[in-house]
Amino acid sequence: MKMKLLMAITLCVLLSACKKVQVANVSATEDDIEFVAKHSTLGAPVDADATTETRALFHNLHRLATQGIMFGHEADNANGYGWQYTPGRSDVKEVVGEYPAVFGWDMGQYEIGYTWNVEGTNFVKMRQYIKDVYDQGGVNTISWHMHNPMDSTQSAKGTMDSVIYKIFADTVALNHYKAWLGGVATYVKTLVGSDGKTIPIIFRPFHEHTGTWFWWGKDRCTPDEFKNIWRFTIDYFRSQGVHNLLYAYSPDRITSQSDYLERYPGDDYVDILGLDCYDTINFHPGNTFITTANPMISIVTTLARQKSKLSAITETGLSQVPVTNWWTQFLSPITKDKNLSYVLLWRNFQTQFWTPYVGQASASDFVTFHADETNFFQHRIASEYLYKTSLLNIDFETSNTLADYQNASGPNYRQFNAIVTDAGATIAIDSARLKFTGSGAATSNSYIIRSNYIAPVDAKLMMFSFNISNHGPITPSTNPVIRVQFGTGFTINNLIETASLTHSEFGIHFPSDGHMTFVDENAAVTGTGNYTGEKNVRLIVNNSGAAKNYIAPDGTTESIANDTWDLWVGTVKEFNDRTATNAAKALNNFKMNIKNIGGQYIDLDDFNIKEL
């Protein structure tokens, strides 16, 4: 799920169209941004003119899929069990304390002039709900239960056969269909966030086509007819200036890879490979849902990996959730460690529900499901800034060859300048992580460095994160074994950079087997936490010239003073507003220096840098 990019492209990803700037002797233009998207081994949105925010969402979803899965719920903030349109309400939020990461919506009935969709949600209100989700950092996906274009009195489940054939066989019918597409195109272009940006949407047309219940289903059209209407629809949206959509392909249950691909419209028309896969009470108490779902999901994720696409469970659930441990014992086994971007549960409304409400039988198990840090809800997703492009993004998924992640003179945003060991220590890619094994020679240093063009030279609010776990046995360390530095003018060598070149820095040491503590290197102050297991470490650095706010990993909005830094370990704020080592230095360079102490090994993963 990784990629290769152009040197210094990372400097320009957030620039406006056609704007050119000179940064550290490198000019960056929108053409560079397009090169990044088109030549990434992560793939790119199929719309070559996709907005910067849509491209960022695509790549961030790729990145996060290796770490966990986003939890989604249809119309979560619009409807719930026994309620509708109550500001701030959410059945999910009332059970676990936060919103889902993904919200589903539907355009059905907009095409026939109704003011509410097939789910009973007013389209004006839906626009506001979508904006609210975007503003809070979440993701929106839209399906379309479209009425029959040949007979608008028939719903998506109308009984007419050969609808697609008839649309393209009659100019009047085709123009009628175009008018429907034009109306939806106009609607999605009016989805704008508080930042003035057009909101990226995961758009999921013609879903469950392997079933027989929709007019686009497998018994109602040929494979070629289905492909034709899919391609025509996406091409028409593009012709209408719609460039904020990622397109999801989502059949219902499948029997094989060839079954999944039978009506696949082609790699140029699909961003996300999905699957609608519902549980039913008929699977219980036999408990065959897992054995039924996992082979289908494996087909989807395998194809997504081959095609450099995203993958997702685009609809699932067990109606009324009568199985009290369904979340941890049935949903988790089909979603965990699959590299899926998200899973979407269907909606709650009046007397029907697919996620628990307070007091429902499965609510306590849902709380346990939520506590799993690999299941992402609003707080984690908001802190990831999905609509901002990473300036550095390395997660060791693409290759097991260390050389692929380094380039001394011109690294792309998926590479360091150097990853170097000495004195017998080793660094290698192992299980999609960078594994450092110490030699026991405490005076020797290994290092990882990005010494050019991480960020523009002007002041910024930057976020740097990585995952780390320590594995003993080790010689206990009273001094930082790892030293992380940000600044300007760093040298490709194993020396710790001087204070004159370093804006901010922190250290990590290992007081006992498997444990980690964190250090403010400038003030020689050790934090209070003693951590075990794999932890996400997140440094927020502000040299913008003024106090700033940012979304923290625990979902809170945090303030950070100018020329200071905060350090988070998981959802714990280990350091707050620590004074910069040298406020005059910009945040262009990064170095991680590792002492070869003790013989332990350290796993490092998911290096990510972005401007907030």
Tens digit of each residue's pLDDT (9 = 90 or more) over 222-259: 999 999 999 999 999 999 999 999 999 999 999 999 99
pLDDT band at 20 (very low <50, low <70, confident <90, very high): very low
Tell me: pLDDT of 85 over 90.
yes
Distance of CA 427 to the CA centre of its chain: 28
CB 10 within 8 A of CB 413: yes
Q: Residue 280 in 3-state DSSP?
A: coil
The whole-angstrom separation of Cα 245 and Cα 281 is: 35
Tell me: pLDDT of 201 over 60.
yes
pLDDT band at 442 (very low <50, low <70, confident <90, very high): low
Cβ atoms within 10 A of the Cβ of 39, count? 14
Per-residue pLDDT tens digits for 491-542: 999 899 999 999 999 999 888 778 899 999 999 999 999 999 999 999 999 9
Q: Which residue has the tokens 């297991």?
A: 533
Instruction: Of 251, 233, 326, give the one whose Cα is nearest residue 283.
Output: 326
Q: Residue 18 has what pLDDT? A: 29
Per-residue pLDDT tens digits for 207-226: 999 999 999 999 999 999 99
Kindly list the distances between the CA atom of residue 592 and the CA atoms of 305, 357, 420, 509, 589, in Å, as whole numbers in the listed order.
31, 46, 11, 13, 10
Residue 569 neighbours by CB under 8 Å, 6+ apart:
518, 529, 531, 535, 536, 537, 538
Q: What residues does each domain of the chain span?
A: 49-383, 395-611
pTM: 0.89
Tell me: pLDDT of 596 over 90.
no
Given the residues 53, 74, 119, 208, the one annotated as active site: 208
As a whole number, mean pLDDT of residues 154-161 equals 94
Per-residue pLDDT tens digits for 385-428: 999 988 889 999 888 999 999 999 888 888 999 999 877 788 89
Given the residues 119, 315, 505, 521, the one annotated as active site: 315
H-only helix segments in 105-170: 123-135, 163-169
Q: Residue 426 has what pLDDT? A: 85
The whole-angstrom separation of Cα 564 and Cα 528 is: 19
Cβ atoms within 10 A of the Cβ of 545, count? 11
Peptide bond into 473 cis (omega under 30): yes
Q: Residue 504 in 3-state DSSP?
A: strand
Q: For the stretch 487-509, what's the b/e string if a residue is b when 16 or more beta carbons lie within 10 angstroms of its beta carbon?
A: bbebebebebbeeebbbbbbbbb
Q: Residue 7 has what pLDDT? A: 29
Tell me: pLDDT of 115 over 50.
yes
Q: What is the SS3 string spanning 547-581?
A: CEEEECCCCCEEEECCCEEEEEECCEEEEEEEECC
As a whole number, mean pLDDT of residues 163-192 equals 97
Distance of CA 610 to the CA centre of its chain: 14
CB 469 within 8 A of CB 462: no
CATH of domain 395-611: 2.60.120
**DSSP state for residue 353 in the 8-state scheme:** -
Residue 36 neighbours by CB under 8 Å, 6+ apart:
5, 6, 9, 13, 413
Q: Chain-wide mean pLDDT for the chain?
A: 89
Per-residue pLDDT tens digits for 450-504: 987 665 556 689 999 999 998 876 665 556 689 999 999 999 998 999 999 999 9
The structure tokens listed for 29 are 């233009």
Give the max Cα distance, the chain: 80
Instruction: Of 125, 74, 110, 76, give the one whose Cα is nearest residue 96.
Output: 76
Residue predicted with more confidence, 29 or 90: 90
Q: Residue 285 has what pLDDT? A: 79
pLDDT above 70 covers a percentage of the chain that reads 89
State the distance between the two ends of the chain, measured CA to CA, in whole angstroms.
Answer: 24
Q: Is 74 labeled as catalytic in the residue annotation?
A: no
Tell me: pLDDT of 22 over 80.
no
CATH of domain 49-383: 3.20.20.80
The whole-angstrom separation of Cα 471 and Cα 479 is: 17
Residue predicted with more confidence, 52 or 18: 52
Q: Is 208 labeled as catalytic in the residue annotation?
A: yes
**DSSP state for residue 110 in the 8-state scheme:** G
The whole-angstrom separation of Cα 338 and Cα 50 is: 27
Tell me: pLDDT of 69 over 80.
yes
The structure tokens listed for 354 are 């697919």
Strand-pair partners of 603? 435, 469
Instruction: Of 302, 218, 213, 206, give the one whose Cα is nearest residue 259.
Output: 218
